[in-house]
Amino acid sequence: MHITLRHLRIFEAVARHGSISRAAGELHLTQPAVSMQMKQLEEQIGLPLLEHIGRRICLTEAGQTLRVHARDIADRMTNLSASMVQFRGLERGLLRLAVVSTANYFLPALIAEFNARHPGVHISLQVGNREFVLSSLFDSSTDLAITGRPPDGVDVIAHGFMDNPLVVIASPRHALAGQAHVSMARVAEEVLVMREPGSGTRAAVERHFAAHGLTIRAGGEFSTNEAIKQAVRAGLGVAVVSAQTIELELQTGCLVLLAVTGFPIVRHWYVAHRAQHRLSAAAATFRDMLLALNPVGMPGTDHKPGSKVRAAA
C-alpha cells in the first residue's frame, strides 16, 4: 500500500465531520479534490472506508480501524513537529487554542500580551462550547484547551489558573431587582434563560440547583452569552452567567446582579492538554503565562485514566 500523510489527514477530517463538504472547507480544498483523495485511499487499502446513511457519511468497520491508526500517526507527527520547534524557540511557530465562548471575554487580552512578547508566533483561536473544545482536544486539532471544567477519565493534564464565578442576572425592571436576600427556591420559580446542551455553564447550573433539590424552569436555549444577555434585558427571564461576561452591562445599568443565597457558584478556569503530547515551546510558554495568574490556594489538577483528581505539582 502507498498511503500518504495527506491521505490520512483528509480521511481524518472527513471522519470527524461526517461530511465531504465540511472537511473540504476545513482543509481549504474543493469537494472533488477531497472525494478523489478518499477514492485513492480506498483503492490503496482495497476496502470501502465510508458509507452513506441518509445525508451523513459514516465509517465502515475498516474505516473505524483506520481512524484509530490515523489519529495515532497524527499524534506522533504533532510530537515530532513540537520537538523540532523546540530548536527554534519562540522566534516562529504556531499556537493552536480552543476555548469555550465565555473565556473569550478575557482571553484576547492575554493573547495580545503573549503576542507582544512573541510576535513571531502565529495564533489560531477556535471558540465554541465545552463539547466542541474537548472534541478539538481529543482530535489533536488544538494544542491547549481552555474550559471551565476539565474532562474526567481521559488522558488529559489540566491546571486551574483563574476563578470563574457564576452569578444570577436580571433586567433592572425585574421584580427581584434590588431585593437584599433572594432564595434559590424563589429563583427556581422564575423562567431561567439557559445555554445550549453541551455548555459547561449550563451543566454547572443544573448540578447546583439539583444539589439543592430544586427544578429549573428553562425558558429557552441560546448558544451565546450575548444572546443570553439580550434575552434577559428584554425580560424573557433571569439567567446564570459568568461574572466575567457582564462587566460592561453592570457599568451601564443594562443588567443587575441578584443577591441570591448560594451564589456565586465559584468555578475555575482550566488550561488542558493531552498528557501524551509534547507541547511546543509556544504552547508551553502560553500555558505557563496562564499559570502565573493562579491565585494562591487554587488547585491545579492532573487527570489520568481511571484515577481520581489530584493536586498538580
Integer Cα distance of 226 and 81 in angstroms: 38
For residue 74, pLDDT over 80 is answered with: no
Residue 301: predicted pLDDT: 43
**Span 84-109, mean pLDDT?**
80
Q: How far apart are CA 128 and CA 130, in angstroms?
A: 7
Q: Is 5 exposed, middle or buried (0-12, 13-18, 19+ CB in 10 A)?
A: exposed
Bigger pLDDT: 112 vs 199: 112
CATH architecture of 90-162+268-311: 3-Layer(aba) Sandwich (3.40)
Residue whose C-alpha is closest to residue 294's, from 308, 312, 274, 273:
312
DSSP 140-170: T--SEEEESSPPSSSSEEEEEEEEEEEEEEE
pLDDT tens, residue by residue, 254-307: 999 999 999 999 989 999 998 877 888 889 999 999 999 865 444 444 443 333
Residue 270: what pLDDT?
Answer: 93
Closest by CA position to 164, among listed 146, 145, 182, 188: 146
Closest CA to 164 of 243, 233, 221, 230: 243
Q: pLDDT tens-digit profile of 264-279?
A: 999 899 999 988 778 8
Cα 228–159–225 angle (5° rounding)? 5
Distance CA 46, CA 92 (A): 41
Residue 310 has pLDDT above 50, yes or no: no
Q: Helix H segments across the chain?
A: 5-17, 20-27, 31-45, 61-86, 107-117, 130-138, 184-188, 200-211, 225-233, 247-252, 281-291
- For the segment 215-227, the average pLDDT, to the nearest whole number, is 89
Q: Picking from 27-31, 35-39, 50-54, 252-256, which range would have the lowest pLDDT averaged per residue? A: 50-54
d(CA 304, CA 79): 19
Nearest-angstrom CA–CA distance, 148 and 160: 9
What are the residue ranges of helices labelled H in 216-280? Answer: 225-233, 247-252
In this prediction, residues 18-46 reach a mean pLDDT of 89
Residue 238 above 90 pLDDT? Answer: yes
Q: Which of 219, 221, 208 is nearest to 148 (CA)?
A: 208
pLDDT of 82 strictly over 70? no
Tell me how many degrees the CA angle 156-157-162 measures, rounded to the nearest 5. 125
The strand pair at 217-222 and 191-195 is best described as parallel
- Residue spans of the domains in the chain: they are 5-83, 90-162+268-311, 163-266
Contact criterion met (CB below 8 Å) for 152 and 304: no
Lowest mean pLDDT among 135-144, 273-282, 304-313: 304-313
pLDDT of residue 84: 65
Looking at residue 101, the DSSP 8-state letter turns out to be G
CATH class of 163-266: alpha beta
Q: Are strands 256-257 and 156-170 parallel, antiparallel or unpaired?
A: antiparallel
Q: What is the mean pLDDT of the chain?
A: 85
Phi and psi at 165, nearest 5°, equal: -75, 135
pLDDT at 88: 57
Phi, psi of 184 (to 5 degrees): -65, -35
The class that CATH gives domain 5-83 is mainly alpha
Would the CATH topology of 5-83 be identical to that of 90-162+268-311? Answer: no
How confident is residue 253, by pLDDT bands cut at 50, 70 and 90? very high
- pLDDT tens for 146-179 read 998 887 766 889 999 999 999 999 999 999 999 9
